Amino acid sequence: MHKKSAQALEQEITELRQRIDHLEALLAAKPVPPLAPPPQTEIAPEIVLAISAAVAAFLGKRATIRQIRLSDSSAWASQGRATIQASHAIVRGLR
């Protein structure tokens, strides 16, 4: 293991402090971009109307929608991949 002298460590600390000061000066001079707007948590009325129409068409009568939740899961994507992969299945023994 290489041991550094106290003088070498002090010099390294001084250099690191100078680098930090330089970076802080650059950050202070550069304006901070605004944060991205928060994700939309309210569902648009058109979407609610489309969901209502789909539910009514499925049930064959009007229904009251009590809750609509936004989901961040990728269930649709997973199901789509599974369908595509199943369509490429190799059938053995039919020769």
The predicted-structure confidence for 38-51, as pLDDT tens digits, reads as follows 676 788 889 889 98
DSSP string, the chain: -PPPPHHHHHHHHHHHHHHHHHHHHHHHHSPPPPPPPPPP-SPPHHHHHHHHHHHHHHHTS-------------HHHHHHHHHHHHHTPPP-S--
Q: What CA–CA distance (Å, rounded) separates 79 from 46?
A: 26
Question: Which pLDDT tens digit goes with each residue over 3-39?
Answer: 788 899 999 999 999 999 999 998 888 877 778 776 7
Report the Cα 25 to chain-centroid distance in Å: 32
The pTM (predicted TM-score) of the whole model is: 0.35
